[in-house]
C-alpha cells in the first residue's frame, strides 16, 4: 500500500453517500504494484495468462492487482485458434482478451506464425498450400482481434540456435525465405493499429542468433517491411543466464527504430540471487527508452511451464517472493515489508488511515485518491470504502483537468478518457463489506485531477 506524505483534505464535512478525499504523493511514494510502478515509468508490466486458471481467485486476484498487460499463454496459437482448417475457435482467447480490456489491461497477441503448436492439418501441409494457409490464418486472427491488441508476436522463434545465424528449418521456412515478411505484411493489412513484433529466445545478448535477427530487422526497416518491435523472451537459468550485455543488446535493436519488449521473462532460482537477476532485467529495460514493457511468463511458480525451477515472482500460494520486492524496487517503487501486498483480493479494511475518509457511515461509499505525478503524466490509485452497508457495486466520479486524459485503467471500467469520467467496479471488486476498502487505478497524460472524487453505491 502507498504511504502518503502530504494530504490535501478535500472532503466536505457531512458528505455521506458521495464524498472523497484527495492525497498527493511525492515521487518517492511511487505506486505499489508492478503495473502501477511500471506505469509511472511509462511502461507496462504484464504476465502470461492461462484461460482455465481465471476462475482461481488467488490467481485472478494477483492478475487484477499487479498487471497492466496480458499475453495468452497458449490460447491464440495456431492449434488453438484454427483446429480445423478454415474453422476458427476464439473462445478461450476471447475470454482472456475481453477480460483484460474490461480491466484496462493491454493485450500482447501470441503468436500468429510459429513452427510449433501448429494444428495437425497444418503440420501436414507444405509449399503453396501451407503458405496460403498461413496467410489466411494471419488474416483471420489479426482481423478478429483488430483494435484489441497492443502488440502482436507476428512471427515467433524463426531462427536456429547454434553459431551460424541461420533460419530454423521448419515447414514454414521451406515455403520460402520470404515467409516472415509475408506474415508481417499480411498482419499489417489486417490490423493497421497493433504493433507488429518479431519474438525469440536466446537472442537476449549479442550472439550469432541475435545478430541474424538484427540483420533481418535492419533489412525490414530498409525495405519498408512493417515491423514495429522485437520481443526478447528472456527465459533464464544457470545454463542460460542473464547476459552481461543484455542492455546493450536491447539498445542496439532500439537504435534500429523499433520498440523492444521483454516478453516471456522467467528466471530459475530462489532468494537473493534470483531477486538480483530480476532487478537487473528491470534496470536494463528502464535504461532503454524504447523498452516499453516487461511480461513475466506466468504468475505463481506453480503456473510456470518449468515450475520446478521456481522462476516467477509469486510462490505457489500467491505470496510475493524476494524477486517481487526486488522487481518493484527496481521499478522505482518504495517497498516496505510491512506493506506487502495482500494475497487475497483487495477488499481488506484499509490499513492507511491518512488516505481513508472519516469513519464510514451511511449506506453509501467514499473514495480517496493518491496521485504519483511527473511532468506530463500521472498514476492515480483510488480507494473505495464502503459505509455501514455492504456494497454490491460502486461508481467513482472524477473530473480531469482540461488537456488531461486517462490512458489506462485497472480494476475498474472508465466511462471515457477526458473531462468528467466515471469509474465503475469490475466483476470481482463490486462487492465490498461494510467499512472495507477496495482499490482501482488509472494512468493518465497531462496534469493529475485535483478535484474531490464522488462515490456512488449501487
Ligand atoms: O516454452 C516456453 C515458451 C517459449 N516461447 C514461446 C511460448 O509460447 C512458450 O510457451 C509455452 C507455454 O508456456 C506452455 O504452456 O509453450 C508450450 C508449448 O510449446 C506450452 O506447453 C503446452 C504443452 O506442451 C501442451 O502439452 C499443453 O497442451 O501447453 C499446452 C496447454 O496447456
pLDDT band at 428 (very low <50, low <70, confident <90, very high): low
**In DSSP terms, which residues pair with 195 in a beta bridge?**
151
Active site residue 264: yes
pLDDT at 263: 99
Cβ(74) to ligand 1 under 6 A?
A: yes
Residue whose CB lies within 8 A of the most ligand 1 atoms, among 50, 70, 73, for a mutation test: 73
Tens of pLDDT along 182-211?
999 999 999 999 999 999 999 999 999 999
Q: Whose CA is nearest to atom 10 of ligand 1?
A: 73
Using the predicted structure, report yes or no on whether residue 414 has a pLDDT greater than 70. Answer: yes
Using the predicted structure, report yes or no on whether residue 15 has a pLDDT greater than 80. Answer: no
Cβ(151) to ligand 1 under 6 A?
A: no
Cβ(121) to ligand 1 under 6 A?
A: no
Lowest mean pLDDT among 47-56, 230-239, 320-329, 352-361: 352-361
What does the DSSP assignment read for 59-125?
Answer: HHHHHHHH-SEEEESSTTSHHHH-SBTTB---HHHHHHHHHHHHTT-EEEEEEEEESSS--HHHHT-
| Strand intervals (E) in 217-356 | 229-232, 235-236, 259-267, 291-296
pLDDT at 362: 60
Cβ(307) to ligand 1 under 6 A?
A: no
Report the distance separating Cα 65 and Cα 68, nearest Å: 9
The cell numbers describing 78, all together, are 495456431
pLDDT at 376: 75
pLDDT at 222: 98
Query: Best-predicted range by mean pLDDT among 21-25, 268-272, 350-354, 440-444?
Result: 268-272
Closest residue by Cα to residue 69 from 392, 310, 338, 293: 293
The mean pLDDT of 399-409, rounded to a whole number, is: 88
Q: In which residue are the cell numbers 522505482 written?
A: 332
Report the distance separating Cα 226 and Cα 229, nearest Å: 10
Percentage, residues of the chain above pLDDT 70: 85
pTM across the whole model: 0.72
The mean pLDDT of 76-83, rounded to a whole number, is: 98
**In DSSP terms, which residues pair with 109 in a beta bridge?**
152
Cα separations (Å) of 254 from 81, 130, 219, 229, 291? Answer: 32, 33, 14, 8, 8
pLDDT at 323: 98
Using the predicted structure, report yes or no on whether residue 420 has a pLDDT greater than 60. Answer: yes
Tens of pLDDT along 318-348?
999 999 999 999 999 864 444 445 444 333 3
What average pLDDT is seen over the chain? Answer: 87
pLDDT at 377: 72
The cell numbers describing 127, all together, are 509449399
pLDDT at 85: 98
pLDDT at 389: 86
Using the predicted structure, report yes or no on whether residue 19 has a pLDDT greater than 60. Answer: no
Amino acid at each position: 500500500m502507498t504511504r502518503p506524505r502530504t494530504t490535501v483534505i478535500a472532503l466536505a464535512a457531512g458528505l455521506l453517500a458521495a464524498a472523497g478525499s484527495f492525497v498527493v504523493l511525492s515521487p518517492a511514494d511511487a505506486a505499489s504494484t508492478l503495473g502501477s510502478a511500471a506505469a509511472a515509468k511509462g511502461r507496462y508490466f504484464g504476465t502470461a495468462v492461462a484461460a482455465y486458471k481465471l476462475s482461481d481467485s488467488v490467481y485472478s486476484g494477483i492478475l487484477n492487482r499487479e498487471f497492466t498487460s496480458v499475453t495468452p499463454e497458449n490460447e491464440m496459437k495456431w492449434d488453438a485458434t484454427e483446429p480445423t482448417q478454415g474453422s476458427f475457435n476464439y473462445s478461450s482467447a476471447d475470454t482472456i482478451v475481453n477480460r483484460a480490456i474490461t480491466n484496462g489491461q493491454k493485450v500482447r497477441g501470441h503468436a500468429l506464425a510459429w513452427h510449433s503448436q501448429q494444428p495437425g492439418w497444418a503440420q501436414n501441409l507444405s509449399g503453396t498450400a501451407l503458405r496460403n494457409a498461413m496467410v489466411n490464418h494471419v488474416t483471420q486472427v489479426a482481423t478478429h482481434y483488430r483494435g484489441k491488441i497492443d502488440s502482436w508476436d507476428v512471427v515467433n522463434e524463426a531462427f536456429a540456435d547454434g553459431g551460424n545465424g541461420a533460419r530454423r528449418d521448419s515447414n514454414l521456412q521451406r515455403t520460402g525465405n520470404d515467409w516472415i515478411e509475408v506474415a508481417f505484411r499480411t498482419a499489417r493489412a489486417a490490423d493497421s493499429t497493433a504493433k507488429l513484433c518479431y519474438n525469440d529466445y536466446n537472442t537476449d545478448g549479442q550472439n550469432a542468433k541475435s545478430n541474424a535477427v538484427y540483420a533481418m530487422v535492419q533489412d525490414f526497416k530498409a525495405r519498408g517491411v512493417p515491423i514495429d518491435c522485437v520481443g526478447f523472451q528472456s527465459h533464464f537459468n544457470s545454463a542460460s543466464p542473464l547476459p552481461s550485455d543484455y542492455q546493450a543488446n536491447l539498445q542496439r535493436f532500439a537504435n534500429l527504430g523499433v520498440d523492444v519488449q521483454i516478453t516471456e521473462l522467467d528466471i530459475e532460482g530462489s532468494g537473493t540471487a534470483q531477486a538480483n537477476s530480476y532487478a537487473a532485467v528491470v534496470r536494463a529495460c528502464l535504461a532503454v527508452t524504447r523498452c516499453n514493457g516487461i511480461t513475466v511468463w506466468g504468475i505463481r511458480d506453480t503456473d510456470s511451464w518449468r515450475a520446478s525451477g521456481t522462476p516467477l515472482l509469486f510462490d505457489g500460494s500467491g505470496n510475493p517472493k524476494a524477486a517481487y520486492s526486488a522487481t518493484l524496487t527496481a521499478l522505482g517503487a518504495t517497498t516496505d515489508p510491512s506493506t506487502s501486498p495482500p494475497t487475497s483480493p483487495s477488499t481488506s479494511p484499509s490499513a492507511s488511515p491518512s488516505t481513508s475518509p472519516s469513519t464510514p457511515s451511511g449506506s453509501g461509499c467514499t473514495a480517496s485518491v493518491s496521485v504519483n505525478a511527473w511532468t506530463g503524466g500521472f498514476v492515480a490509485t483510488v480507494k473505495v470504502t464502503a459505509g455501514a452497508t455492504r456494497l454490491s457495486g460502486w461508481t467513482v466520479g472524477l473530473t480531469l483537468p482540461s488537456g488531461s486524459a486517462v490512458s489506462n485503467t485497472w480494476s475498474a471500467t472508465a466511462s471515457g478518457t477526458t473531462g468528467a469520467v466515471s469509474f465503475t467496479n469490475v466483476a470481482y471488486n463490486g462487492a465490498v463489506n461494510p467499512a472495507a476498502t477496495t482499490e482501482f487505478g488509472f494512468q493518465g497524460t497531462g496534469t493529475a485531477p485535483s478535484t474531490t472524487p464522488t462515490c456512488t453505491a449501487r
